[in-house]
Structure 1
Amino acid sequence: MYSPNQKLSVAEKIGYSLGDLAANLIFQTLMTFLAYFYTDVYRIPAGTAGIIIFVGGLSGAFFNILMGIIADRTHTRWGKFRPWLLWTSLPFGVISLLAFSTPDFSDSGKVVYAFVTYFLLVIVYSANNLPYSALSGVITGDMKERNSLSSYRFVAVMIAQFIIQSLLLPLALSLGHGNKAVGFEKVMLFFAIVGVICFCITFLTTKERIVPPVEEKNTIRQDLTDLSKNKPWVIMLIVTILVFVTLALKGGMYIFYFKYYLDPSAQSDYLESIGFNRFILGLNETVTSLGLGKFEWPEDAPTSANSLFNAGGILFMIVGILFSKPLADRFGKRNIFGIFLALSAVCLVMFHFYPKDNIGIVFITQIVHGFTYGITIPLLWAMIADVADYSEWKNNRRATAIIFSAMIFGLKAGLSIGGSLGASILSMYGYVAEQAEQSAEAVEGIKMSVSIYPGFIFLAGAALLFWYKIDKAMEVRLETELKEKRN
Structure 2
Amino acid sequence: MKETKNVYEGENRSLHMKERIGYGVGDFANNMMYNPVNTFYTYFLTNVAGLGAGVVGTLLLLSRLMDGVSDLIVGTFMEKIHSKHGKARPWLLWWCIPFAVSLVLMFSAPDFGTTGKIVYAFLTYNLAVTVVYTAINLPFGSLAALMTKNQTERGYLNISKMVFAFGGGMVVSATTLPLVNFFGGDSAAWIKTFIIYGIVAIIFFLVVFFTTKEAVTETAEDTGKTENVNIKEALLSLLKNKYWVMLLGIFFLNSTVNAFIGVNVYYGQYIMNDDSLVGSLAIYQNVASFVAFAACTVIIRRVGKQKIAIAGVTISFLGYAMVLLGPTSYVLLYVAAVVKGFGNAALSGVMYGMLADTVEYNDWHSHIRAEGLVFSANSIGQKVGSGIGSAALGWILAAFGFVSNSAAQPESAINGIRTIFLYVPLFIFAAMFIILLFYKLDKEYDGIIADMAKRK
Q: Residues 355 and 217 (structure 1 numbering): CA distance in 2 closer, same or farther, change over 3 Å? A: closer
- Pair 1:388-2:359 in alignment: yes
Counterpart of 1:157?
A: 165
Q: Which moved further from structure 2: 346-355 or 377-386?
A: 346-355
Distance, in Å, in 1 between the alignment partners of 2:117 and 2:278 is 28
Counterpart residue type for residue 406 of structure 2: Q
TM-score normalised by the chain length of structure 2: 0.93
**Residue pairs, 1:85-484, within 5 angstroms:** 85-122=92-129, 123-175=131-183, 177-179=184-186, 181-211=187-217, 212=220, 213-249=224-260, 251-262=261-272, 264=273, 302-356=274-328, 358-470=329-441, 472-483=442-453
Cα 1:378–1:483, aligned 2, differ >3 Å: closer, same or farther?
A: farther
Q: Which amino acid aligns with 2:293?
A: I
1:71 maps to 2:71? no
Instruction: State the one-letter code of the partner of 1:374.
Output: A
Q: Which residue of structure 2 lines up, in the alignment, with residue 11 of structure 1?
A: 18
Q: Over the residues paired in the alignment, what is the CA RMSD in angstroms?
A: 1.7
Asked if structure 1 preserves the Cα contact closer than 8 Å seen for 2:11 and 2:216, the reply is: no
Aligned residues of 1:216 and 1:397 also touching (Cα < 8 A)? no
Distance 1:482 1:451 in 2: 47
Asked whether the 8 Å contact 2:46–2:56 carries over to 1, the reply is: yes
Report the more deviating stretch, 74-83 or 472-481: 472-481
Partner SS, residue 437 of structure 2: helix
Q: Distance in 1 between matches of 2:396 and 2:23?
A: 38
1:157-184 CA deviation, whole Å, 9 max, x = no partner?
Answer: 1111111111111111112x232x1221
* Closer/same/farther in 2, CA of residues 392 and 105 from structure 1, 3 Å limit: same
Contact 1:321 1:377 in 2 (8 A): no
**Cα pair 2:320 2:425 within 8 Å, conserved:** yes
Q: Can you list the C-alpha shifts for 1:412-454, whole angstroms capped at 9, x where unaligned?
A: 1121111111111111111113434322221121112122111
List alignment gaps of at least 5 residues for structure 2: 1-8
How far apart, in 2, do the equivalents of 1:320 and 1:443 lie?
Answer: 34
Q: Contact 2:237–2:366 at 8 Å: present in 1 too? A: yes
Q: Is the 8 A contact 2:327 2:333 kept in 1?
A: no
Query: Is the contact made by 2:25 and 2:164 (CA closer than 8 Å) also made in structure 1?
Result: yes
Q: Which of 51, 55, 61 matches 2:62? A: 55
Give the whole-Å Cα distance in 1 for the aligned partners of 2:11 and 2:61. 45
Moved more, 434-443 or 415-424: 434-443
Q: Which of the numbers 23, 46, 49 marks the counterpart of 1:42?
A: 49
Instruction: Tell me, in whole angstroms, the C-alpha distance in 2 between the residues paired with 1:435 and 1:361.
Output: 28
CA distance in 2, matches of 1:304, 1:217: 52
Q: Deviations over 1:242-286 (max 9, x none)?
A: 00000111x100111122223x4xxxxxxxxxxxxxxxxxxxxxx
Question: Contact 1:258/1:305 (CA < 8 Å) preserved in 2?
Answer: yes
Which amino acid is the alignment partner of residue 478 of structure 1? I
**Equivalent in the alignment of 1:286:** none
Residue 106 of structure 1 deviates from its aligned partner by 1.1
Are the counterparts in 2 of residues 324 and 376 from structure 1 also a CA contact under 8 Å? no
CA distance 1:26–1:465, change in 2 (3 Å): same
Q: 2:28 matched to 1:21?
A: yes
Summarize the Cα distance change of 1:395–1:464 in structure 2 as closer, same or farther, 3 Å threshold.
Answer: same
Shift of 1:314: 1.1
Conserved? CA contact 1:350–1:451, under 8 Å: no
Q: Taking structure 1 as the reference length, what is the TM-score of the superposition?
A: 0.87
Cα deviation, residue 339, structure 1: 2.3
Alpha-carbon distance in 1 for matches of 2:270, 2:98: 37
Runs of 4+ with deviation above 6 angstroms: none
Counterpart code for 2:237: D
> Aligned residue for 2:5?
none
CA-CA distance at 1:352 after TM superposition: 3.7
Query: What are the Cα deviations for residues 101-155 of structure 1, in whole angstroms up to 9, with x where unaligned?
Result: 1112111000000000111112111111101100111101111111111111111
* SS, match of residue 40 in structure 2: helix
Q: Return the alpha-carbon distance in structure 1 between the equivalents of residues 42 and 407 of structure 2.
A: 18
Whole-Å separation in 1 of the counterparts to 2:421 and 2:374: 31
Distance across 2 between alignment mates of 1:164 and 1:174? 15
Contact 1:26 1:96 in 2 (8 A): yes
Percent identity over the alignment? 30
Q: Is the 8 A contact 2:308 2:347 kept in 1?
A: yes
**Would the aligned equivalents of 1:99 and 1:118 in 2 still touch at CA under 8 Å?**
yes
Contact 1:57 1:118 in 2 (8 A): no
**Deviation per CA, 1:199-218, whole angstroms, max 9, x where unpaired?**
12211111101124445222
How many residues align? The count is 442
Bigger mean CA offset, 100-109 vs 339-348: 339-348
Where structure 1 has 5 or more consecutive residues not aligned to the other structure, the ranges are 265-301
User: Contact between 1:351 and 1:450, CA under 8 Å: does it hold in 2?
Assistant: no
- Structure 2 Cα separation of the partners of residues 89 and 215 of structure 1: 28
Deviation by residue 1:332-355 (Cα, 9 ceiling, x = unmatched): 111210222122022213334424
Change in CA separation of 1:310 and 1:77 when aligned onto 2, cut-off 3 Å: same
Between stretches 131-140 and 65-74, larger displacement belongs to 65-74
CA–CA distance in 2 between the matches of 1:215 and 1:460? 39
CA distance in 1, matches of 2:399, 2:314: 28
